[in-house]
Structure 1
Amino acid sequence: MSTQRIRQKKVPKPPACDTCKAKRVLCLPQPNGAPCPRCVDKNNVCTTTPIRRGRPAKNSEPRRAEKPELAMSQMPTPSSSSSMTILSPQVYESLDESLGLTPEIVEHFFDCFERMSSSMNPVVLNSSLKRTIQTAAFQISLLPTETRVLALVIVALGSLVSFHESVLGPGPRPASPADISFFAFASSHTDVLINCGARRAPTCRALHAAALRAAWDTGVMLNVSIENAASCFLLDTLESNGPSGLSRPWATAYMSHVRALAPMWRTPNITPPQSSNWAGFLMAEALLSTRGRKPISVTPGDQILLCGPEPRSLEQFLAWVQASAEKPGARMLFDSMKSYSFHVTQLARELWETVIGDHVRLAPLPESAVIHLLSSLSLIHAIHTHLMSRVDALCPDSRSADATAFCRNDEWSEDRAVRSCAYGIAMGFVGLVLPLYRELSYRVGLLANAEPRASASVALARERLGLLAAQARGMAGLAVHELAHAVRLLRWYYAPIHGHTLAEYARFALEEAESVPVLEPERVRDLATIGAQLRTVGYSLDLLSAPDTLQLLSRLERYIDSHTPAMAMDEFVTLGSADLTSPEGNNHSELERLEDFGLPPLGHDLSWTDDILLVTLPV
């Protein structure tokens, strides 16, 4: 039998990575998709774009079917507000290439974005955009591709709080970031704020569509980089302002990019950089998903990778907070935020996996999971109470907050940081309680609609679940007060991300108030505070296209007017008509009498603050 020489086919050399190819240096590709040594040494993201060489095959274009079974235009699409449905061919072709983004207006939008809390996200801070856009003299066309997409997204987000005439058009608008007279006047004239949101809506929609088109064309969901991660995060922030869709594709891509980039940001056995900042944004991400009953994209591994080792348990955390009560200053408060945010994120994930998730609704609700969540929320509220006591001690007079209508992040003081921590602490508690109560109420309704001849076990389960729902309802009532307390403490305007949470709590508080014949003045005051804060969302968002919110605001105003003492209202009107800049209008004793009647200090006490803050919180 003759032997034949077997020729071994030469294995082609793997292509060079994109970074080495761009720098025209030798690349040593590694097997199994591992990064090349040069990218590892330079701490770069090692990606390789495949390039097809040689002539294309003949007749490579697929033959078009003469009689397709179903045309693309006839295929059913889900009724979702996701950004994927916006980029239809018609919208894609009709977008105006020239949006009038001159360097001056781009710089203005970037300045507005710097006054929003979204700009403090670590991926935004670590991107090279701020340095690059200044080098390019705020000319977006001169930026690299991925950086240009991020710049367009920031422009779209900054337009939500812009006071520029090209955005708001003719009509009342603030003249500067510290225009106190405008916000003092608008606080008692709801139509002024609502008209601002309606006038800015066309510009915001056009900028949003341009950012989506650029992101889709560039493929920011697929290519891993810090700029693309920041773009996905901010696009999800923009999408969260509208109606709730079926999914959050930009948030999923954002977390996917962060997981790929995180190993390069930390060193083993060392606390990750910006771990406290990451803990807060992961908490906001989890609460945003919980609010819309969507899966939590933050995993336990993400928390450990970005925030460090798991902190002490809730019981140990509460004991530490109680032991630190005698320590003066704000250090104890700042040191608590990372652990507090970590535990809230864990509870949000547990809430989805065991109570409110769609997969959980396929089976009877496990009472043990509900009891565990209620116990954990009781511990969270106890920790919340101790931390807020420290905030009240550090900020005894909420009217002394030295805020501005639009506060830049580099202008913050310790006082503002303490007040922001207070709002984050409150949102961590209130963001969990109401979704739990709504789900328990839904389950009780299902059992109530069961067959009249249901077994004794079903009746017992309905009774036990009703008791758990009543306990969650009591916690939701506490959450209303804590939310109003945090809003009054800050004396700042928040817009627009938290508008959905405010609307849900305003609706719950109003339902509770209408169910009782007499309401305590403090609860009326809480209801008025949340309603006043909800009205300010109209400065950024188009509430005219949200009739449910307008109807809710109308109901709130009617209820508060009918449950406010006539004498207090007369005094409030008199004080509200006083000159806000004159010393005669600053009568502290008169304001204290108003607060005794449960009236929110809307327009009058604005004269005692230097400014009003308008920022965006991602919850």
Structure 2
Amino acid sequence: MSTPRVRQKRRPKPPACDICKARRVLCHPQPDGKPCPRCVEKGNICTTTPVIRGRPRKNVESAAPETPTSLAQEFAISQQLVQNASASSSMILLSPQLHEDIPDCPDLTPELVDHFFECFAQMPPVTNPLIVATSIRTAIREISFRLSLLPPQSRVLALCIIAFSSLVSFHEVVLGPGPLPDSVADPLFFNSGSGTTLRSCGARRAPVCRALHAAALKAAWEAGVMLQVTTENAASCYMLEMLEQSNFSGLSRPWASAYLSHVRALAPIWRASTTTSTPLDRTHWAGFLMAEALMSTRSRKPVLITHEDQLLLCGPEPVSPEEFLASLEAEASSNKPNAELVFQAMKPYLFYIVRLARQLWATIAGDHLPPGPPSESATLQFLSSLSIIHTILSHLLTRADAVLAALAATTSPSDAITPLVIDNSASDASIVRGCAYGIITGFAGLALPLYRELQQRVGVDSGDRNDLAAYARNERMRLLVAQAHRLAGLGVCELARAIRYLEAVHFIPVQRRTLCNYAGFALDEAEAAAVVEPECVRDIKTISDQLQISGYSQDLFSDPETASLVERLDRYLEAVNAPPVNVQFGPDDLGPVGALDPDTSRMLEDLLLPFDQASATWMDPLSTEVLGR
């Protein structure tokens, strides 16, 4: 008699992952939370969302109420989910063969990674509150600069920093054969090197910079830094935006949008946190928000910074510019240099610049506005506000100059290039110079875009003289354009002054477009002028020199417009600085002796004899004829 077969209970199959479920394909879940083979093959992040099955429980009202979670607890839970999702894709991001398919990408050895991070320490983004909060520099130093040991999101940020640092690197792997500086602060190379040598560095480094940028983009896309809200991902989006701006590529700014979106989500958590390590340095945030707003203005794009963003990151709104200017004028009677006054004025001044950049797009330059001349009242209001900003700038720079003069009297001068890095270890002189540079950058970043926009919208036609109303309106707009032209001219002078404050403009590669715009404007004005002004030539020379230094970071001749501008600058400065030509005629200029016939020679002697006698009489101090007179 056969025993009945006992039917064993089948073990339930694990649920399919989210991606396979969305694509309606067969999934093969792996134990211990490992990614499924299909996600590994496609390079996707394998996550599984549990589905609650069965009937809902009765007496829901009698169930115990859930304990409300705080904002910080919700963020901690979301961070844990992000880490779990990132861990499932770690085998993809940590693969040493990540960049084999990218041409010209160097092997990122620990020695080379260490070099890149040393270069990054000399660049302004190192003080971004997001970069400081991630402690990426400390983390990579603890693992001896081995990228494969970093967590996925930290590794993406490290790759972004490496790609950005390649713009100023002096390593032979980046620059290849040719002259190399000893450091990023080599005065002999940067101050004494020719423009051709500096420009060759930008051309030599271009392939490696593009390869590292592509590697950072690939890693960021695979890690999903746009979608997962973390401080490291926000910092990665910020660095990728800096890289995009340095290359002038793209019509939109997706990385800037993601960066600010992450910051908006994280800022309330920073404010609710009781720890001191939150990235909520309000003055630094004011500076980086101004830089972001000026990037949009320079690219003629909508300003992504809202008024609420400024209040969230920079604190309460300051007093009006008129009240702020009145307070500066009231304190101008004090002759004692005080660096603290310059520091305290930075946050409200930067706040005003961001607000004006937003106003410029909303009322004058925006694509949403109808074509043709903008509103007279809006233009007049903006010109008035920008004039007040320039007056505030003059007061602050006067104080900065007094502070620098007092500090120079007590410290020994240094010939080294001063990096534009303002942190806790910087000296008072470096901080004051950085503040002065930022103050001027804010004004210059608005003056020329305003003039170009008005010049384009108003045009050259004065309208029909028979239509008196239209003619009067056009004439009023011409006066406003002339006022904007004057402010743009002041922007040239102030930008050259800012460059003289700091000699390290090539540490800010994204400023190349500003240099090109102002160099072109100044050159057009100088070539159209009837008289060559020495101050104008000096300012053009200063801006041209800094444009040459930016050639150390970027290939200037890869852009035909920039290449043409550099050649124009070289020709103009060469013509202006050329010594005057003194034409002197000697005996040989009249031809060989005996070339003239005797009659012609005798006639010339008769003609020149009175002039010779008069000359001898005038030059002889003992001549009786002269003394008699």
Short-chain TM bin: 0.7 to 0.9
| Correspondence 1:36-75 to 2 at 5 A | 37=69, 40-41=72-73, 44=76, 46=78
1:172 & 1:339 partners in 2: Cα distance?
A: 44
Instruction: Say yes or no: does 1:477 pair with 2:489.
Output: yes
Q: 1:48 to 1:364 in 2, by over 3 A?
A: farther
Shift of 1:554: 1.7
Shift of 1:385: 0.2
Are the aligned partners of 1:528 and 1:560 in contact in 2 as well (CA < 8 Å)?
yes
Are the aligned partners of 1:304 and 1:310 in contact in 2 as well (CA < 8 Å)?
yes
Instruction: Say yes or no: does 1:311 pair with 2:318.
Output: yes
Shift of 1:566: 2.6
Residue in 2 that maps onto 1:154: 161
Tell me which of 506, 518, 522 is aligned to 2:531.
518
Read off the aligned partner of 2:337 and give its amino acid letter.
P
SS at match of 1:310: coil
Q: 1:352 to 1:92 in 2, by over 3 A?
A: farther
Query: Which deviates the most, 284-293 or 355-364?
Result: 355-364
Residue in 1 that maps onto 2:498: 486
Q: 1:379 to 1:406 in 2, by over 3 A?
A: closer
Shift of 1:47: 5.5
Residue in 1 that maps onto 2:441: 427
Residue in 2 that maps onto 1:140: 147
Q: 1:407 to 1:296 in 2, by over 3 A?
A: closer
- Cα deviation, 1:173-227, whole Å, max 9, x if unaligned, reads 10234432222331xx111011100110111010000000011111111110000
Tell me which of 464, 471, 474 is aligned to 1:459.
471
TM-score (structure 1 length as normaliser): 0.75
Query: Which deviates the most, 492-501 or 280-289?
Result: 492-501
- Unaligned 5+ segments in structure 1 are 1-14, 16-20, 23-33, 51-90, 569-619
Q: 1:93 to 1:107 in 2, by over 3 A?
A: closer
Tell me which of 354, 357, 360 is aligned to 1:351.
360
Shift of 1:401: 5.4
- Flag the structure with more relative contact order, 1 or 2, with Cα contacts below 8 A and sequence separation at least 6: 1
Residue in 1 that maps onto 2:200: 195
1:282 & 1:132 partners in 2: Cα distance?
A: 27
Instruction: Say yes or no: does 1:301 pair with 2:313.
Output: no
| Correspondence 1:214-613 to 2 at 5 A | 214-267=219-272, 273-325=280-332, 326=334, 327-362=336-371, 365-396=374-405, 400=413, 403-404=416-417, 411-445=425-459, 448=461, 455-495=467-507, 496-564=509-577, 566=579
Q: 1:123 to 1:526 in 2, by over 3 A?
A: same
TM-score (structure 2 length as normaliser): 0.73
Are the aligned partners of 1:272 and 1:308 in contact in 2 as well (CA < 8 Å)?
no
- Cα deviation, 1:379-420, whole Å, max 9, x if unaligned, reads 100000000101111224799456446677665211111111
Tell me which of 197, 210, 229 is aligned to 1:205.
210
2:164 & 2:273 partners in 1: Cα distance?
A: 36
Q: 1:45 to 1:246 in 2, by over 3 A?
A: farther
Q: 1:220 to 1:557 in 2, by over 3 A?
A: same
1:97 & 1:223 partners in 2: Cα distance?
A: 30
Q: 1:402 to 1:121 in 2, by over 3 A?
A: farther
Are the aligned partners of 1:403 and 1:492 in contact in 2 as well (CA < 8 Å)?
no
Q: 1:173 to 1:35 in 2, by over 3 A?
A: farther
How many pairs are equivalent?
496
2:303 & 2:217 partners in 1: Cα distance?
A: 24
Q: 1:482 to 1:407 in 2, by over 3 A?
A: closer
- Cα deviation, 1:234-287, whole Å, max 9, x if unaligned, reads 100000012353111100000000000000112599999310000000001001
SS at match of 2:183: coil
1:515 & 1:231 partners in 2: Cα distance?
A: 46
2:252 & 2:567 partners in 1: Cα distance?
A: 31
Are the aligned partners of 1:152 and 1:210 in contact in 2 as well (CA < 8 Å)?
yes
Are the aligned partners of 2:237 and 2:258 in contact in 1 as well (CA < 8 Å)?
yes
1:221 & 1:268 partners in 2: Cα distance?
A: 24
Are the aligned partners of 2:185 and 2:416 in contact in 1 as well (CA < 8 Å)?
no
Residue in 1 that maps onto 2:30: none
Read off the aligned partner of 2:456 and give its amino acid letter.
Y
SS at match of 2:271: coil
Q: 1:48 to 1:416 in 2, by over 3 A?
A: closer
Are the aligned partners of 2:187 and 2:416 in contact in 1 as well (CA < 8 Å)?
no
- Cα deviation, 1:298-352, whole Å, max 9, x if unaligned, reads 0000000000000010011111222233153200000000000001000000001
Residue in 1 that maps onto 2:179: 172
1:337 & 1:45 partners in 2: Cα distance?
A: 38
SS at match of 2:76: coil
Are the aligned partners of 1:429 and 1:479 in contact in 2 as well (CA < 8 Å)?
yes
1:544 & 1:362 partners in 2: Cα distance?
A: 34
Are the aligned partners of 2:127 and 2:421 in contact in 1 as well (CA < 8 Å)?
no
Read off the aligned partner of 1:522 and give its amino acid letter.
E
Are the aligned partners of 2:418 and 2:503 in contact in 1 as well (CA < 8 Å)?
no
SS at match of 1:197: helix
Are the aligned partners of 2:293 and 2:357 in contact in 1 as well (CA < 8 Å)?
yes
Query: Which deviates the most, 153-162 or 34-43?
Result: 34-43
> Looking at CA atoms only, which structure, 1 or 2, has the larger radius of gyration?
2
Query: Which deviates the most, 40-49 or 352-361?
Result: 40-49
Q: 1:402 to 1:343 in 2, by over 3 A?
A: farther
Q: 1:177 to 1:444 in 2, by over 3 A?
A: closer
Q: 1:35 to 1:96 in 2, by over 3 A?
A: farther
1:253 & 1:454 partners in 2: Cα distance?
A: 53
Are the aligned partners of 2:419 and 2:504 in contact in 1 as well (CA < 8 Å)?
no
- Unaligned 5+ segments in structure 2 are 1-17, 19-32, 35-65, 83-97, 582-629
- Cα deviation, 1:554-595, whole Å, max 9, x if unaligned, reads 211222222237389xxxxxxxxxxxxxxxxxxxxxxxxxxx
TM-align CA RMSD: 3.2
2:495 & 2:357 partners in 1: Cα distance?
A: 18
Are the aligned partners of 1:401 and 1:491 in contact in 2 as well (CA < 8 Å)?
no
Q: 1:95 to 1:244 in 2, by over 3 A?
A: closer
Query: Which deviates the most, 386-395 or 289-298?
Result: 386-395
Shift of 1:39: 7.0
Read off the aligned partner of 2:365 and give its amino acid letter.
I
Are the aligned partners of 1:290 and 1:432 in contact in 2 as well (CA < 8 Å)?
yes
Are the aligned partners of 2:418 and 2:430 in contact in 1 as well (CA < 8 Å)?
no
SS at match of 2:530: coil
1:44 & 1:199 partners in 2: Cα distance?
A: 46
Are the aligned partners of 1:283 and 1:344 in contact in 2 as well (CA < 8 Å)?
yes
Tell me which of 102, 111, 116 is aligned to 2:118.
111
Are the aligned partners of 2:169 and 2:184 in contact in 1 as well (CA < 8 Å)?
no
| Correspondence 1:95-110 to 2 at 5 A | 95=102, 99-110=106-117
Query: Which deviates the most, 513-522 or 407-416?
Result: 407-416
Are the aligned partners of 2:105 and 2:211 in contact in 1 as well (CA < 8 Å)?
no
Read off the aligned partner of 1:441 and give its amino acid letter.
Q
